[in-house]
Amino acid sequence: MPTKSVVVGSSVGLHARPAQLIAQAAEELDVEVLIGIPGGDPVDASSSLMIMTLGAGPGDTVEVSSDDESALETIAAMVEKDLDA
């Protein structure tokens, strides 16, 4: 599965609001997208609760994976933005 490493851009990390926005977008894409901490087990990007369990803070690197290149780029771009602004 293709993977892209990105830096968390939200000032609160992948917490409540950013996680919810990412999960909603991933669910609408209707393809499997995973997010994980390098070296850890990835979680389903369409679940805000699972995203929050990663504990990714601002500036942390996470890996976004999907067999769908467009979905991969969409979710990776969202992770890099400050979604809490």
Active site residues: 15
Q: Which residues contact 28 (CB under 8 A, 6 or more apart)?
A: none
Taking alpha carbons only, the member of 40, 64, 65 closest to residue 53 is: 40
H or E segment at 3?
Answer: strand 3-7
* Other residues' Cβ atoms within 10 Å of the Cβ of residue 60: 16
